[in-house]
Amino acid sequence: MSTSVIERLGHPADARLVILNLDDFGAMHATNVGIIDALRSGAASTTTLMVPCPWAAEAASMLEPGDDVGVHLTVTSEWAAYRWGPLTGSRVLCAADGRMHRTVDACHQAVVAAGSTGFAELRAECRAQIEQALAWGVDVSHLDAHMGVMQTHPEFLDVYLDLAAEYALPLRMLSAGAEQHLGLSGRVAAAERGLVFPDHMLMTYLDARPTIESGLASLRPGVTEFLLHPSLDSEELRVACNDADERVANQSFLMGPGSFAEQVAAHGATMIGYRALRDLQRGLVAA
């Protein structure tokens, strides 16, 4: 598949293309400012918007034409001091405090326990998030999933693929190795439906820089997605997040010497955004 995608994008079969997605746009003001700084400087190629978060409307208002922004489908709210709820008011998607469940397992269990009602509410919430982004004027470039909730359960994965097909959007997929570990076949199912997605995925979170540097040094042909959770520092960030130091370090990595973009160029790779995959998905790129 890797050769097929990059050749359809107009690149040689041995090309190494890189997407750097900045997750959690809209989570809070300091995160919004940091991500916009990174996009404007060319330090990253794309970001994804957490529509249910209180700062998401501000994030959408900061965008300019041409910005590459996806929807970070959000059906969990993991932090203790900073919480958000579903746009649709779904009770299935809420914990006892009226906000979304804090863990992937809790969300999965609640939806599955509610049966068809649970999955209907899940689908409605994800669709509402996409529609809200569009209503804010976001030129949505792709879908991905906060905390991987939509990618790590077979029936959730079906909803995820359905929405990508409905909106003709490419999407983040787990790596082939991660899918094998979980006993899933999402990549096969997505390909069978004609959906477009990166060939390789490198998940990072805490202590991301060494993992990313190792990944860049061993890039394979095809499209490889990396992700980061960056933010400027702020009191709000420190109160809300138990990983504030790492988010600030990620911002420094993006903007400082030896940045991600510099290393991509040094390794002879090319940075692209998800919009290129969306154009391919929608038949705007000649096969």
pLDDT digits (tens, 9 = 90+) for 137-185: 999 999 999 999 999 999 999 999 999 999 999 999 999 999 999 999 9
More confident residue, 206 or 135: 135
Give every CB contact of residue 169 below 8 A, 6+ residues apart in sequence.
70, 140, 141, 142, 143, 163, 278, 281
Q: For position 3, what pLDDT does the model report?
A: 47
Cβ 140 vs Cβ 134: under 8 Å: yes
Q: For position 163, what pLDDT does the model report?
A: 98
pLDDT digits (tens, 9 = 90+) for 33-59: 999 999 999 999 999 999 999 999 999
Give every CB contact of residue 40 below 8 A, 6+ residues apart in sequence.
none
Residue 243 pLDDT > 80: yes
Cβ 156 vs Cβ 109: under 8 Å: no
More confident residue, 264 or 204: 264
Give every CB contact of residue 229 below 8 A, 6+ residues apart in sequence.
22, 23, 24, 205, 208, 243, 246, 247, 250
The two three-digit tokens of residue 277, written as one number: 């995959």
Query: Using alpha carbons only, how large is the chain's radius of gyration in Å?
Result: 18
Give the span between the Cα atoms of 270 and 287, in whole angstroms: 20
- Sorted by where each begins, the domain ranges of the chain are 2-73+140-281
Domain 2-73+140-281 sits in CATH 3.30.470.10: no
The two three-digit tokens of residue 17, written as one number: 């293309």
Q: For position 207, what pLDDT does the model report?
A: 75
Give every CB contact of residue 68 below 8 A, 6+ residues apart in sequence.
39, 45, 46, 47, 141, 273, 274, 275
Q: For position 287, what pLDDT does the model report?
A: 53
Q: For position 112, what pLDDT does the model report?
A: 97
Residue 188 pLDDT > 50: yes
Burial class (CB in 10 A: 0-12, 13-18, 19+), 247: buried
Give the span between the Cα atoms of 44 and 261, in whole angstroms: 7
Residue 203 pLDDT > 90: no
pLDDT digits (tens, 9 = 90+) for 54-78: 999 999 999 999 999 999 999 999 9
